[in-house]
């Protein structure tokens, strides 16, 4: 199986030993505590599950700035986006302290992790702007949901190693879907898959997405597909995770051969960082055992902030050779061809005009679903469309 990033073995930070976990939870009751941001809690979940291997905790200021500028930590480890615990005010917390990190997303704010604080540092306004400019390719004063979320987290950097005690709300709210990198690696091994392609989604999968996965599997000769959906915080207007989960499961049940696809999810808040986030997505898919990863049009993008294929070119132009072992499957926009009566990559149909494809904007699709009208069968499977129509009807 493909090695994880940066080490021979996966090193998840979750405390699996029950007695040790209980002892740490007891210890946390007597520790100073701080309520972390949703983003920091999600980072803890990703660290706990092994997705952010080989990191041992939150980055310090020097590493965050180095990653933002050069995509590597101060020690030279390749990494595309800072992994931070940013707060507004650290209070009396100082280097050398052992503190409890409380979860903002679960009622009662239980402790999600215990942290050994290595440093308490402050990002200046210029340093925060630098990170926004480099990571999000967007100015700190520009309207961008990822930059807005980043700016809301505060300027004080708490860095240090952590021990993760639970997986926040992800394991309880999505017991059939949330999986750690450890669990996915184990299931890939159990299924005997050697070549595995991963597909990232934060949206329901329509026919073009489904066919793209079939194309990738066929062209790469893959044994299996891991559909890996984001379960964390999204921007306003995105379809909730339970609805996406239900629609994707129905699609796999009806339109994929048995035991050829795994439907899974991970606990992380979307960054909307376009190319940089695409590289992060590839990195943690390597950690979960995938050998290949699909990068499509405007991967991890938002609005018109990024070029259609910037998330593909970053791997050719900015990611140093050998930084990652996972291979990228570059995909063009896929759509149903009226001429060929099937879904194709638009770049592979040079004799087609725009009118030869079934093309619907996201706005148009949402409008149709909201009015109880199923998109054409060339765009969406009817069973998937029905689940989405039921959702829009419920919020009308």
Cα torsion at 241, 189, 44, 325 (round to 10°)?
A: -100
What tokens were used for 309?
């294929």
Interacting residues of 84 by C-beta distance below 8 A, sequence separation 6+: 39, 40, 43, 58, 59, 64, 153, 157
Instruction: Check residue 372 and give left, alpha or beta (phi > 0: left; psi -120 to 50: alpha).
Output: left
Separation of alpha carbons 372 and 221, rounded Å:
39
Burial per residue of 249-284, b for 16 or more beta-carbon CB atoms within 10 angstroms, e otherwise: bbbbeebbeeebbbbbbbbbbbbbbbbbbbbbbbbb
Q: How far from the centroid of its chain's Cα atoms is residue 351's Cα?
A: 36
pLDDT > 90? residue 161: yes
Residue 347 burial (CB < 10 Å; 0-12/13-18/19+)?
Answer: exposed
Predicted pLDDT at 363: 76
Share of the chain above pLDDT 70, in %: 98
- The arithmetic mean of pLDDT across residues 38-67, rounded, is 98
From the DSSP assignment, how many helices (H) and strands (E) are in the chain?
13, 15
pLDDT > 80? residue 170: yes
pLDDT > 60? residue 6: yes
Predicted pLDDT at 365: 87
pLDDT in tens, 95-128: 999 999 999 999 999 999 999 999 999 999 999 9
Interacting residues of 245 by C-beta distance below 8 A, sequence separation 6+: 174, 176, 177, 229, 263, 265
CA distances from 260 to 132, 193, 197 (A): 39, 9, 11
Contact between residue 246 and residue 284 where contact means Cβ atoms under 8 Å apart: no
Weakest-pLDDT range from 228-237, 290-299, 341-350: 228-237
pLDDT > 70? residue 141: no
Predicted pLDDT at 219: 97
Q: Which of 98, 191, 202, 366 is catalytic?
A: 202
The answer to whether the Cα torsion of 50, 270, 309, 76 is positive or negative is negative
- The arithmetic mean of pLDDT across residues 20-47, rounded, is 97
The answer to whether the Cα torsion of 144, 280, 100, 88 is positive or negative is negative
Q: Predicted confidence band at 361 (pLDDT cuts at 50, 70, 90)? A: confident
State in Å, rounded, how far the first CA of the chain is from the last one.
47
Weakest-pLDDT range from 27-31, 92-96, 201-205: 201-205
Average pLDDT value for the chain: 94
Does residue 202 have an active-site annotation? Answer: yes
Q: Domains of the chain by range and CATH?
A: 18-168 (3.10.400.10), 176-266+273-395 (3.40.50.620)
Contact between residue 238 and residue 275 where contact means Cβ atoms under 8 Å apart: no
Coil, strand or helix: which one is 224? strand
DSSP assignments along 273-330, one per residue: -HHHHHHHHHHHHHHTT-SEEEE-TTTT--TTSS-TTHHHHHHHHTS-TTS--SEEEE
Separation of alpha carbons 347 and 163, rounded Å:
47
pTM attached to this predicted model: 0.94
Name which of 306, 315, 319 is nearest 271 in CA terms: 306
Predicted pLDDT at 139: 57
Q: How far from the centroid of its chain's Cα atoms is residue 121's Cα?
A: 27
Predicted pLDDT at 301: 82
Predicted pLDDT at 396: 77
Predicted pLDDT at 97: 98
Q: Which of 11, 109, 116, 203 is catalytic?
A: 203
- The arithmetic mean of pLDDT across residues 339-363, rounded, is 91
- The arithmetic mean of pLDDT across residues 170-176, rounded, is 92
């Amino acid at each position: 199986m493909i090695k994880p990033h940066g080490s021979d073995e996966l090193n998840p930070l979750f405390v699996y030993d029950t007695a040790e976990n209980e002892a740490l939870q007891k210890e946390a009751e007597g520790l100073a505590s701080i309520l972390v941001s949703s983003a920091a809690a999600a980072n803890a979940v990703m660290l706990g599950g092994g997705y952010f291997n080989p990191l041992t905790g939150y980055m310090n200021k020097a590493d965050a700035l180095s990653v933002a500028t050069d995509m590597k930590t101060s020690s030279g480890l390749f990494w595309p986006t800072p992994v931070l615990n940013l707060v507004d005010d650290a209070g009396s917390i100082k280097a050398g302290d052992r503190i409890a990190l409380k979860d903002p997303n679960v009622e009662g704010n239980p402790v999600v992790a215990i942290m050994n604080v290595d440093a308490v540092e402050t990002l200046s306004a210029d340093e925060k702007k630098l990170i926004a400019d480099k990571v999000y390719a967007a100015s700190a004063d520009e309207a961008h949901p990822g930059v807005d979320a980043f700016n809301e987290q505060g300027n004080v950097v708490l860095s240090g190693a952590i021990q993760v005690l639970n997986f926040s709300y992800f394991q309880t709210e999505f017991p059939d879907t949330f999986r750690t990198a450890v669990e996915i690696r184990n299931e890939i091994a159990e299924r005997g898959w050697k070549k595995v392609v991963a597909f990232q989604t934060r949206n329901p999968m329509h026919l073009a997405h489904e066919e793209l996965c079939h194309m990738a599997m066929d062209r790469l000769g893959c044994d299996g597909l891991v559909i890996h959906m984001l379960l964390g915080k999204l921007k306003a207007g995105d379809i909730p995770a339970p609805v996406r989960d239900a629609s994707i499961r129905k699609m796999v049940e009806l339109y994929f051969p048995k035991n050829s696809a795994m439907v899974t999810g991970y606990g992380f808040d979307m960054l909307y960082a376009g190319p940089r986030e695409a590289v992060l997505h590839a990195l943690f898919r390597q950690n979960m055992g995938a050998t290949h990863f699909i990068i499509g049009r405007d991967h991890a993008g938002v609005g018109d902030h990024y070029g259609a294929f910037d998330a593909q070119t970053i791997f050719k132009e900015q990611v140093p050779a050998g930084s990652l072992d996972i291979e990228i499957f570059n995909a063009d926009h896929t759509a149903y061809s009226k001429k060929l009566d099937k879904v194709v990559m638009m770049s592979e149909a040079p004799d087609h005009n725009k009118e030869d494809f079934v093309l619907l904007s996201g706005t148009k699709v949402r409008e149709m679903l909201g009015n109880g009208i199923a998109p054409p069968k060339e765009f969406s499977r009817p069973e998937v469309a029905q689940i989405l129509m039921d959702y829009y009807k419920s919020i009308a």
